[in-house]
Amino acid sequence: MAKKGICILGSTGSIGTQTLEVIEANPELFTVEVLTAQNNADLLIQQAVKFQPNTIVIGNREQYEYVKNELWQQDIKVYCGEEALADVVTNENIDVVLTALVGYSGLKPTINAIKAKKNIALANKETLVVAGELIRELVKEHQVTIYPVDSEHSAIFQCLTGEYSNPIEKIYLTASGGPFRGWTAEQLKSVTPAQALKHPNWSMGAKVTIDSASLMNKGLEVIEAKWLFDLQPDQIDVIVHPQSIVHSIVQFEDGSMKAQMGLPDMKLPIQYALTYPDRFKTDFPRFNFLDYPQLTFEQPDKSTFRNLELAYKAMNMEGTAACALNAANEITVQAFLQEKISFLDIARINEETLAKTPLITKPTLEDYIQINTAARKLAEELM
């Protein structure tokens, strides 16, 4: 494999730091060209000194002088702000842009990267949730590839290798069920942020962890899968698999099924996205069947965990519906983390926002931006 120049959008988060671990373990395969962070200036500085990228971007303008002064002896360009974040992806030395930004903020940089003909390693599912139709059109127009980084979508992607001429009958996205699997609505009334942040299997950022607890993360993944694999809503099913060993399954028209399995470790899908179509040796822990004598599966409780049902509803509505739902969810999750609303209020406010936000059936980029703003404002009012 030719050496690849990597841009990591969100290098100080969970996915970003694990990506740098993959790169550090394979220096002959990758160079770090760009690193970005929103607020974690100290870690960004440490990463810049260690990996010596061509450019870094700190999103928070108030941190710019501090970062610049700390790196003045390094041969590294330092920029700040949203515009710099969106522009830096066009650097000619970049081969792959790994988007690990949280939420809606990943949309504009990803669009610019696609227009600059950069392949995308996508860990920011909200980009496809918010504007999936637009992203698909741009990917086709500029002839780039999206390599999924989410463990479930990477699993589907791996199962489809060598199967591209064979139509998919159905896919099954697996879910751990989160920390509250089996809980009733009555039990969920008093859930605290600290409880919701204790995921049983995966180490993730706060936003994704809360989404996992409410099953919104799985809902967003369902919408993402629709656009990644060109599926209809009834071709996508969710099954709860508490052990998180089977990462997802593809069922073909002849009834046969392929599953991708392994221990929960995000570095594996990260590495595969960066090295595709090649696989390289790792020292990651290996799965042993004897350690897991039982793998279990069950239906998700959509009536208690309403966010998953809302995601299917938004997907069927099409247009800007998923954009509105995502915007509301970003507001409600932050409010829950700040203990301004209850855990059950997340889905309640998300549902009201989806119902009350105008639906644009054939949206442009400006329409997505407008709906995102309007839905956020409405969600705040509903709180």
Taking residues 204-233, what's their average pLDDT? 94
160 and 46, same domain (yes or no): no
The CA distance from 88 to 109, in Å, is: 8
- Edge-to-edge strand list for the sheet holding 77-80: 77-80, 55-58, 30-37, 4-9, 96-99, 119-122, 146-148
Task: Report the DSSP pairing between strands 236-240 and 168-175.
Answer: parallel
81 and 169, same domain (yes or no): no
Nearest 5°: phi and psi at 42? -65, -45
Check pLDDT > 80 for residue 203: no
Strand-pairing partners, residue 198, are none
The percentage of residues in the chain with a pLDDT greater than 70, rounded to a whole number, is: 99
141 and 171, same domain (yes or no): no
User: Domain for residue 345, yes or no?
Assistant: no
Task: Based on DSSP, count helices (H) and strands (E) in the chain, helices before strands.
Answer: 16, 11
The pTM score is: 0.93
Torsional class of 24: left (φ above 0), alpha (ψ -120 to 50), beta (otherwise): alpha
Q: Which of 7, 14, 30, 93 is nearest to 275 (CA)?
A: 30
201 and 235, same domain (yes or no): yes
177 and 126, same domain (yes or no): no
Tokens in use for 255? 């009834």
Taking residues 24-37, what's their average pLDDT? 97
User: Domain for residue 78, yes or no?
Assistant: yes
Check pLDDT > 90 for residue 358: yes
Domain endpoint, select from 131, 148, 165: 148
168 and 183, same domain (yes or no): yes
Give, in order, the Cα–Cα distances in Å from 97 to each of 106, 112, 202, 273, 287. 11, 10, 24, 11, 30
Q: What's the confidence (pLDDT) of residue 215?
A: 96
pLDDT in tens, 119-162: 999 998 889 999 999 999 999 999 999 999 999 999 999 999 99
Q: What's the confidence (pLDDT) of residue 103?
A: 78
Query: Residue 178 sits in which domain range?
Result: 153-264+301-317
Question: What domain count does the chain have?
Answer: 2
184 and 58, same domain (yes or no): no
200 and 112, same domain (yes or no): no
Contacts of 322 (CB under 8 A, 6+ apart): 129, 130, 132, 223, 311, 314, 315
User: Domain for residue 295, yes or no?
Assistant: no
134 and 216, same domain (yes or no): no
Taking residues 195-224, what's their average pLDDT? 89
Is the CB of residue 261 less than 8 Å from the CB of residue 159?
Answer: no
User: Domain for residue 254, yes or no?
Assistant: yes
Domain endpoint, select from 94, 127, 148: 148
pLDDT in tens, 278-336: 999 999 999 999 999 999 999 999 999 999 999 999 999 999 999 999 999 999 999 99
Q: What's the confidence (pLDDT) of residue 199?
A: 79
Task: Report the DSSP pairing between strands 168-175 and 246-252.
Answer: antiparallel
Count the alpha carbons within 13 Å of 251 in the hemisphere toward its beta carbon: 10
User: Domain for residue 282, yes or no?
Assistant: no
Rg (CA), the chain: 20
SS3 342: coil
Domain endpoint, select from 148, 179, 196: 148
185 and 219, same domain (yes or no): yes
Count the alpha carbons within 13 Å of 184 in the hemisphere toward its beta carbon: 2
Residue 65 sits in a domain whose CATH number is: 3.40.50.720
174 and 122, same domain (yes or no): no
The CA distance from 11 to 8, in Å, is: 5
One-letter amino acid at 360 equals I
User: Domain for residue 380, yes or no?
Assistant: no
93 and 176, same domain (yes or no): no
User: Domain for residue 280, yes or no?
Assistant: no
User: Domain for residue 257, yes or no?
Assistant: yes
